[in-house]
Amino acid sequence: MKISARNVIKGTVVSVDKGSTTAHVKIEISPGQVITASITNEAVDSLKLVAGGPAYAVVKASDVMIAVD
């Protein structure tokens, strides 16, 4: 795989929850650390994402927001 994004994090799919058009995919990148992505159901099927399978979280952001309480 070649990609221009610099933030590519390998992990394991822990769940795929499909809705009517989009799915929430949770990827554990280290014990207790989970990244959640919303992608289309079509993308889930095309990538053959299933719980327990390997996947990469690719983060491409032009803005980063920070907040405090």
Mean pLDDT by 10 residues, the chain (69 residues): 85 97 96 94 97 93 75
State the chain's mean pLDDT as an integer.
91
Domain assignments of the chain as residue spans, ordered by start: 5-57
Q: Which two tokens stand for residue 10?
A: 């390998």
Q: Which CATH class is domain 5-57?
A: mainly beta
Which residue matches tokens 């053959």? 48
Cα angle 60, 10, 51 (rounded to 5 degrees) comes to 110
Residue percentage of the chain with pLDDT more than 70: 94
Q: Give the pLDDT confidence of 15-32 residue by residue, as tens digits.
A: 999 999 999 999 999 999
